[in-house]
Structure 1
């Protein structure tokens, strides 16, 4: 190979500086998408993370849920970000090399923008975030080339890197700040629920009663949760326009029917306290919460369709989720469009979600779009992945608070048994040798609501094991034997070592 050929090869092959600039362009591309879309399905990372969550082997998904919990979902998002950055970086690297080969760097920049926009649009079908992603990739490449022409003692290669760093840093910081505020769609704000004066008065009264009945224990979450947990199959929540949304009753019915948001809101509203517990949480985890929901009985939607009664129902959601359970479970089911006196938040299923008492949180489908009456059983989303699905929920007394004083120790938590209710909670301060009954909060109205508990005792001189257990409203004691979340939800007595 002659000297001219070697120079050509070196010119076409990326050096470390060009590769680094391409990587920066990839970061900027992701930031540009985030700046416009925020953390929505229009953000280029969302579809990647969702596809990974659905396509990975069920064993890996289950391992992530059981071993890492919420961190597993976060790791999935981090991996998706890495993939998106890598794809944009490869686009930048390839287009930049082509521009050099043609001795026309601007052509490489324009191609990087075009390919960046095309890839982002193919993933999200969202024009503006896709344009922002592609332009951000091109800006980094263009800026790095412009810095080469700056009169400086610094070598051209270093000037190229400095230009890429400067533009990528500006775009990334700006994208993060603007995207965190919601991007072009703006920051999501809760709005007060527009219902009749009587329903509003009932909401205020029920929330006041819940606050008044909450035990005065430092560090213990009140009876209406301050922060309600969220678990979804996708990394980003769907953004739905209520004016265009509807929910349909289909399948084995005499007549399929469909309801708009306004039609549902015009029906007689009710308020219900309902607690939800995640099937994939740890035994003493914190994915158990309670809220006051406003909506209508779900059978008000189903009955007019005259469903067949011999089988079951599949609930389907706008995010692709689906879950099946017996049709009889809908008899006490609820379609909620309000939460704690506000419009249902997007993260909890706006415009409307299902609440099926006594079942694990996973069955309470958010962003509900279809109620399909089935003629024969089908597996739901999680059943297809080995989980047992619907319920009933396991009885649990959780130990979340230990307040150590000079002479006394106070322990406290929440207890939940679905529609069976909680009869009592017992506490042992000697590792299960002896038991004392804890104080329970007054029960809130409703068939599927948690209760708080607290117990205070003289502080021993040495460390000791506190164990708690609950008895449900049917008189059945919470099982002692521990089981992991997979496949039927965690169970067992909760214990904790306390040091005075």
Structure 2
């Protein structure tokens, strides 16, 4: 491939990349977005996903690097397409149409947008290739001096920087898009929005504010502990985004919320006490005599003794409210709320299992969260206007297991469409999803289901919440006039 092909191809890639971003909002598919979506889909398989998180953490670094790599691949592919078009025009045109149609439409599940992308961007690069052949000089090309080579390298670096800027713009646009969907849950709740369920009537819930507090750690430990709230806050702290959900939550219910918590790693407290070799279970006790237990081997490494929650409106952490467990509660990501007592007063290391408060009553002993999805908008029995652009949108969660996609049906489950799934901000955060919809007049049964990585589809069997958590698809009826 000649140096001129690289230059013209990169120029074409920049033109289509920038133009695509500008035209994305008017219904023309943006192939660069589709290419990035496909690359991140491949990266979303568990083995790669976990490796990326181990190496780069759970922030935006991995996504930004992925976009930079996508921008590089985009420019390389355009140089290849340009060289093919210049040498073998019609095969090159077919390959170019396939490229733009696939990444501009099929991957994004927008056939019409893909058609426009194919016609517009395919026409642009084909014209550039034809024009390049028209003005091609038969004279031999002079050798490229070192200074020009350095300039080309600087141009490449500049294009990478441009790619990162474009990615930031895409993120900003996506944020606006999600925020504009009326009725869609926020990514993070504060305490005032988090559901409240208790075995007690409110009057009998523990009221521990202003009273002496000690968290006892005893049993099969080398050193028994009695930790005040200040003692716990003096230990190393961590922040954890965790979706808390009640095992009693019905299909489509609101006994669920994603929250940013702050607290002391459970491991730090247990290490401070020193676990004896014959300890097999951890038993939790609460101020209202609530009891739960879990095998030590099953305690997630992210488990914390939480004492604060971030308020999304102020951005500041605040102590737990009395409703949500002041002064402390245990958090075990991936389990239903019944395994995570509030008003925690005692941790006992034991050689035998102690059945929990609800397990004694026939509820689940393990309380692993089942994969769920919910339609937030439109509401059940809503009346919509025919021909108006709207969204079907909601939340999905798999208890820390990776979600591959969310699918939506508008015909009661006979056919399914892939919704846009917003990247998770944490392995234990719920995810937002949305599907643009422009319905014709009629009655519709909307259904949603989540699919885990590896193709494991959410359990469709209708089961009541108890004893192990509800299963089945959330479905609603809407009327379009």
TM-score grouping bracket, smaller chain normalisation: 0.5 to 0.7
Aligned counterparts of 2:393 and 2:307: Cα–Cα separation in 1:
32
Aligned counterparts of 2:177 and 2:293: Cα–Cα separation in 1:
36
Alignment map for 1:310-389 (pairs within 5 Å): 311-330=280-299, 331-340=301-310, 341-389=317-365
Aligned counterparts of 1:213 and 1:355: Cα–Cα separation in 2:
32
The one of 470, 473, 477 aligned to 2:450: 470
Instruction: Give the Å deviation of 1:472.
Output: 2.3
Instruction: Give the Å deviation of 1:289.
Output: 0.4
Aligned counterparts of 1:414 and 1:242: Cα–Cα separation in 2:
38
Distance change in 2, residues 1:214/1:305 (3 Å)? farther
Distance change in 2, residues 1:302/1:435 (3 Å)? same
Distance change in 2, residues 1:212/1:335 (3 Å)? farther
Could you say which residue in structure 2 is the equivalent of 1:235? 201
Q: Secondary structure at the match of 1:332?
A: coil
| 8 A Cα contact 1:387 1:486, kept in partner | yes
Alignment map for 1:25-424 (pairs within 5 Å): 215-225=179-189, 227-236=193-202, 237-241=205-209, 244-308=212-276, 311-330=280-299, 331-340=301-310, 341-402=317-378, 404-407=384-387, 408-424=389-405
Q: TM-score, normalised by structure 1?
A: 0.55
Instruction: Give the Å deviation of 1:243.
Output: 6.0
Cα RMSD for the two superposed structures: 2.2
Instruction: Give the Å deviation of 1:460.
Output: 2.8
Distance change in 2, residues 1:245/1:329 (3 Å)? farther
Q: TM-score, normalised by structure 2?
A: 0.57
| 8 A Cα contact 2:386 2:438, kept in partner | no
| 8 A Cα contact 2:195 2:255, kept in partner | yes
Distance change in 2, residues 1:443/1:259 (3 Å)? same
**Structure 1 runs (4+) greater than 4 angstroms displaced:** 210-215
CA distances 1:336-386 after superposition (whole Å, capped 9, x unpaired): 111112111111111111110100011111111111112111210000111
Aligned counterparts of 2:367 and 2:276: Cα–Cα separation in 1:
23
| 8 A Cα contact 1:431 1:465, kept in partner | yes
Aligned counterparts of 1:384 and 1:474: Cα–Cα separation in 2:
35
Aligned counterparts of 1:211 and 1:409: Cα–Cα separation in 2:
17
2:394 matches 1:430: no
Distance change in 2, residues 1:365/1:474 (3 Å)? farther
Distance change in 2, residues 1:437/1:240 (3 Å)? same
Instruction: Give the Å deviation of 1:400.
Output: 2.1
Could you say which residue in structure 2 is the equivalent of 1:459? 439
Aligned counterparts of 1:242 and 1:258: Cα–Cα separation in 2:
18
5+ residue gaps, structure 1 = 1-207
5+ residue gaps, structure 2 = 1-171, 311-316
Q: Secondary structure at the match of 2:338?
A: helix
Equivalences, count: 291
Alignment map for 1:17-28 (pairs within 5 Å): none
Instruction: Give the Å deviation of 1:448.
Output: 1.2
Instruction: Give the Å deviation of 1:439.
Output: 1.2
